[in-house]
Structure 1
C-alpha cells in the first residue's frame, strides 16, 4: 500500500510542481501581454508533456505498482490530490468561494484544463501498456 501512495504522491508532486513553476512565469509575464486565456492555453502543451514524462517516470520508479489495479489506485490518489490542491489554492490564495472560482474560469481554457485533468488521470494507464511491452522486450533480450 505504501508503494501505491508513494507512486501517486510522486506523480502528483512532479506535475503540481511544474504547474506551480509555470504559474509563477505565466501570471506576471504572460497574462499582462497576451491575456489570461492565451497564457493558460500556451501552458497546456508543456503540462501535457510533463504529464506524459511524469507517468513514465513513476512507472519506472515504482515497478511494484505496474498492474492495472495498483496503478489505478495510485493515479486516482494523484488526481484527487491535484483537484484538491487546485481548489484549495483557489479558495485560500484567491479568497474565493468554490462557486466563485468555478465561475471565474475562462470557458475555453477551463475546458482545456478539464480535458488535461482527464489526460492526467489516464496517462499512467496508457503508459502502463507501453511500459509492459518494454519490460517484455528487455526480458527477451
Structure 2
C-alpha cells in the first residue's frame, strides 16, 4: 500500500510542478508577446523573461520538495533516498514537454508544423537557454531535497 501512495504522490506532485511552471510561463509569454516583443526583438524579450522564469522554477521546486516530504511523513513512507525527487523532476519534464510541444503543434497545425519545428525553430541563444532551464527544472527537486 505504501508504494501506491508513493506513486500517487510522485504523479500528483509532478503534475503540480508542471502546472506551476507552465502556468507562469504561459502568463509571462502573453506579457512578453504583447508588451516586450514589439519594443525589443524576440531574442531579447525571451532573455528578459528568463530570470523571472528561473525564480518561478526555483520556488515551484521548493513547493514540490516540501509537498513530497509532507506526504512521505503522512503516509509513513521512507524518507531515504533521492529516487522520488528524481522521478518527480523527470516526470514533470515529460509532462511539460508534452504540454508545450503539443500545444505548439495544435496551434500551428494549419501551417504543417509539429514537434520538430517546436524544437528547431528557436533563436539559437534564447532556445539553448530555454532547454538548459528545462534541465534545471528537472534537477532542482533532487538538488533541493
| TM-score class normalised by the smaller sequence | 0.7 to 0.9
Spell out, residue by residue over 1:8-52, the C-alpha distance to the aligned partner (whole angstroms, 9 max, x if none): 111111111100110110111111110110111111111111111
Q: How many residues align?
A: 128
Distance in 2 separating the partners of 1:15 and 1:101: 18
Residue 95 of structure 2 corresponds to which residue in structure 1? 81
SS at match of 1:32: coil
- The secondary structure found in structure 1 opposite 2:38 is helix
Contact 2:88-2:141 within 8 A present in 1 as well: no
Give the alignment's TM-score, normalised by structure 1: 0.85
1:111 corresponds to: 128
Q: Greater helix percent: which structure? A: 1
1:73 Cα shift?
1.2
User: Where does residue 134 of structure 1 map in the other structure?
Assistant: none
Uncovered stretches (5+) of structure 2, i.e. residues with no partner: 1-6
Root-mean-square deviation over aligned CA pairs:
1.4
1:72 to 86, 93, 96: 86
**Secondary structure in structure 2 of the residue aligned to 1:58:** helix
Which residue of 2 is the match for residue 40 of structure 1? 46
Q: Does 1:121 align with 2:138?
A: yes
Match of 2:24 in 1: 18
* Map of 2:64 onto structure 1: 58
Write the distance in 2 (CA, Å) between the matches of 1:103 and 1:70.
32
Q: TM-score by structure 2 length? A: 0.83
- After the TM superposition, list the runs of 4 or more consecutive aligned residues in structure 1 that deviate by more than 6 angstroms: none
5+ unaligned residues in a row in structure 1: which ranges? 129-141
Counterpart in the other structure of 1:132: none
